[in-house]
Amino acid sequence: MADTIKQVRTGPTGVETVVATLDRSTLRSVQTPQGFLRETLERAHAAPPPAPATDDCGMVEAHGGRVTVVEGSPRALKITTPHDLEVAAGWLRPAGGAHD
């Protein structure tokens, strides 16, 4: 993980302040989609998790499943923002930069 990760708290006025800098040596940024056996995903999605889950890994973990880490690729880009779309479009353009 290249970014420095900060834990923040929102104060009574709505201003966020840094309360800690996390040790990123034990943290990973994970990509979606994530791969699981179909049966594992069906079990994980059959009942709501005890806490909110933001991805399939969270659902599997919440129901006692073990999640292992595999190397990803920066090209497995999740398109969430206009910038993400621009990056993906740039990868699709032919070498030399010609496009409409």
Q: Is 11 or 72 the better-scoring residue by pLDDT?
A: 11
Full DSSP string of 23-62? -GGG-----SS----HHHHHHHHHS--SS--SSHHHHHHH
- Stretch 53-79: mean pLDDT, rounded? 88
Specify the pLDDT at position 39.
93
Global confidence as pTM: 0.63
